[in-house]
Amino acid sequence: MSTLDTIKEQIDGNPILLYMKGTPRAPQCGFSAQTVQALMTCGERFAFVNILENPDIRAELPKFANWPTFPQLWVKGELVGGCDIVVEMATNGELQTLITEAVGSETE
């Protein structure tokens, strides 16, 4: 399977997916840490990919997503954005709504 196929499978297979540096318990950059914190306040489980352990995905995902930086939050197959966008959405309540709807649509 190509790296691009792997990325598509990850995005399609997980309603909430975070590409990040490190893990939720041990983020390895400040932006990833802030994004994880914002996501965790929503109270739902999410999948993650540590791009530091997956250099092929780290190289290919920015081209696929047309988004040059990490972290990247994907919800229901759509790129939401990076740290600034996710933190802003968490502050104004949009992230909670988005995450709750994503999880709710999976259980129906």
102: CATH: 3.40.30.10
Greatest pairwise CA separation for the chain in angstroms:
40
pLDDT of residue 107: 58
Model pLDDT, residue 105: 73
pLDDT at 33: 98
Which pLDDT value is given to residue 18?
98
How far from 45 is each of 5, 35, 103, CA to CA, in Å? 24, 14, 9
Residues (pLDDT < 70) of the chain are: 106-108
Domain total in the chain: 1
Instruction: Identify the domain containing residue 22 by its residue range.
Output: 3-107
Please, which residues have CB within 8 angstroms of residue 80's CB and are 6 or more apart in sequence? 73, 74, 86, 89, 98
User: For position 106, what pLDDT does the model report?
Assistant: 66
pTM exceeding the 0.75 threshold for the entire prediction: yes
